[in-house]
Amino acid sequence: MKRISDHPVLGPLTHAEIGIEFDGEQYRALEGDSVAAALLANGIRTLRYSNRTGEPRGIYCGIGHCYECRMTINGVQSVRSCITPACDGDVLESQGDDREQSGDF
Amino acid sequence: MISDVVILGGGPAGLSAAIAAAQAGASVVVVDENPRPGGKLLGQLHEEENGKWWIGAEVSKSLAVQAVEAGVQILPNRQVWNLSPEWEVSLDGGETICADYAVVATGAAERPVPMPGWTLPGVMAIGAAQTLTNYYRVRPGDRIAIVGLDPLSLTVAHELSMAGAVVVGIYLPGMNDFAKEQADPDRSLKYLAGMSDLAPNAFLRLGGKLAALGALRSLALTFYPPTGIPLMGTRLNLRKSVVAIGGQGRVQYVDVASVDKLGNPGRTRRVEVDCVCLSGGLYPVQELTKGCELAYIEQLGGTIPLHSPEMETSRPNLFVAGTVTGIEGAKIAMAQGRLAGTVIASRVGLLRGPELVAEAEAAVDRARESSAITFMPEIKAGRRIAHERWLELDGSSLTAKKEIYT
């Protein structure tokens, strides 16, 4: 999972760089990225943890239907990262790993 | 907010409907859930019959520009919470849009392919991989297994290879309660035959050629090489199925079973991958057509709203366009959208005479005839059944509709 900086049909990428924060670390991304795409370009696949089992979860449907990619974005919980644009300065957090506190449902 | 027309969904069908209605002079609002208009068209990329590349992102941009130039108001990042009659659209942020006409162009979604390990990060729907690769320009993995055989999975396999990924193979899903038909090698071969008429690229043509054996199909399966056949840098495996996905915290491998002619698994081998793309096929999304007369038509990919040749549903002034009416390509969706937009412009009183509507209707037929790729092999039969079901509808809704025409 790497950025496709050049492509035989689509040509080179020319988007401007932006900076984002994920779980306290700083990353670079490109303008026009979705949050999920921006993280994947940095090698990050796990976006949240199951509230029941604590198992990691990542992008699944990519069209906002399945909610598997939900994250806390700029303090707002359970935002679908696959259809949310990444913006310079975004603070992103994985969620659901506090299962001890949230109880067993 | 008040407009003549409200369109739900800013993909190829919705944008085309918006352009047609707005160019005739109607006021049009398009609502879409995504940050940018284009829908699933954004990620499309394939070589056409004429050797030119169909770049979905560019087509989407061109449609959006035409729409905005015609005065269409596009509202992205909005979720529709309700559509109530004649017509009031409630959005998640509290906004309301009132319009005389509504077009539902909500498109399609992918059928899930559940199997052991499918919740691991790195497993995704084939359409998600397509958009990541061609639109966001992020490779979803370096070594990828594709599970499920259909025009979309074959096309995306090619696209992933072009983007520098190693596609280790295209496999059938393992036989289980969710994937009975898809796991059947014979059915998969038949499916390949059905879509082979006018395949958009060499990749699909080769697959089609194999399946065109027709009566020799079962013989082909008997002699089908156990290692699959090479196709554009990957292997098409009709005799292998992925029975499980595994790894610690992310995808690290798939378990691939050799299968007999009937799809029953035999010996299993482990193949290292960092991404698995599941392709279960598409179904039309009916979240906003609940009050319409619906019908389940297998050949169209699922449940669809019955509609007139002019794209109007059983609820007067509620139109549909695109894959919400059945699984077909973007060009057909665009033609359906233009038809819906033109009919609405005519109803609003912005067009003189029936010629433009007739021309838009003929354009849908032409788009179907020249379609390079058929997602559903028996789409023509499906359309015929849908039309017959529409004609069978009687009762108040159609009577009301006739009154509008007179």
The tens digit of pLDDT for each residue in B150-162 reads: 888 888 998 999 9
Interface of B with A in 250-269 (CB under 8 A): 250
Rounded to an integer, the average pLDDT of B301-328 is 97
A62 inside 8 A of chain B by CB: yes
Task: Let me know: does B323 contact B333? Beta carbons within 8 Å.
Answer: yes
pLDDT for residue A34: 97
B128 and B204 together in one domain: yes
B399 and B335 together in one domain: yes
B117 and B100 together in one domain: no
Domain count, chain B: 2
pLDDT for residue B199: 44
pLDDT for residue B238: 74
A79 inside 8 A of chain B by CB: no
Question: Where does A1-105 have alpha helices with state H?
Answer: 35-41, 99-102
B118 and B263 together in one domain: yes
pLDDT for residue A100: 53
B204 and B298 together in one domain: no
Contacts of B163 in chain A (CB under 8 A): 4, 7
Is B175 or B315 the better-scoring residue by pLDDT? B315
Residue B14 belongs to domain with CATH number: 3.50.50.60
Is B254 or B153 the better-scoring residue by pLDDT? B254
Task: Let me know: does B23 contact B120? Beta carbons within 8 Å.
Answer: no
Contacts of A13 in chain B (CB under 8 A): 137
CATH topology of domain A18-96: Ubiquitin-like (UB roll) (3.10.20)
Report the gap between the CA of B336 and the closest CA in chain A (Å): 22
Domain stop point among B278, B307, B338: B278
B205 pLDDT above the threshold of 70: no
Beta strand ranges found along B43-196 (DSSP E): 45-47, 53-55, 73-75, 80-84, 88-91, 96-104, 108-110, 123-125, 143-147, 166-173
Nearest to A63 among B109, B140, B249 (CB): B109
Domain boundaries, chain A: 18-96
Using 50, 70 and 90 to split pLDDT, how confident is the model at B216? very low
pLDDT for residue B184: 75
Domain stop point among B234, B254, B278: B278
pLDDT in tens, B362-400: 999 999 988 766 778 788 999 999 999 999 986 555 555
pLDDT for residue A16: 96
pLDDT for residue B36: 95
B246 and B311 together in one domain: no
Residue A58 and residue B137: Cβ atoms within 8 Å?
no
Alpha carbon separation from A93 to A3, A31, A57, B314, B403 (Å, rounded): 22, 19, 13, 46, 57
B131 and B211 together in one domain: yes
Residue A40 and residue B34: Cβ atoms within 8 Å?
no
Q: Which two tokens stand for residue B66?
A: 């035409």
pLDDT for residue B215: 44
B126 and B272 together in one domain: yes
B182 and B299 together in one domain: no
B210-248 in b/e form (b: 16+ CB < 10 A) is: bbeeeeebeebbeebeeebeebbebbbbbbbbbbbbebe
* Residue B174 DSSP code: P
pLDDT for residue B191: 67
Rounded to an integer, the average pLDDT of B230-255 is 86
pLDDT in tens, B117-164: 999 999 999 999 999 999 999 999 999 999 998 888 888 998 999 999
- Full domain range(s) for residue B260: 112-278
pLDDT in tens, B47-83: 887 888 999 999 999 999 999 999 999 999 999 999 9
Give the rounded percent of residues in chain A with a pLDDT score beyond 90.
86
Counted across chains A and B, CB pairs separated by less than 8 A come out at 105
Domain stop point among B253, B278, B303: B278
Using 50, 70 and 90 to split pLDDT, how confident is the model at B88? very high
Complex ipTM, two decimals?
0.94
B116 and B63 together in one domain: no
Residue B136 and residue A34: Cβ atoms within 8 Å?
yes
Rounded to an integer, the average pLDDT of A30-46 is 97
Nearest to B119 among A2, A55, A82 (CB): A55
B93 and B223 together in one domain: no
Using 50, 70 and 90 to split pLDDT, how confident is the model at B178? low
Rounded to an integer, the average pLDDT of B250-262 is 90
pLDDT in tens, A47-95: 999 988 899 999 999 999 999 999 999 999 999 999 999 999 999 999 9
Contacts of B123 in chain A (CB under 8 A): 58, 60
B221 and B297 together in one domain: no
Rounded to an integer, the average pLDDT of B213-227 is 55
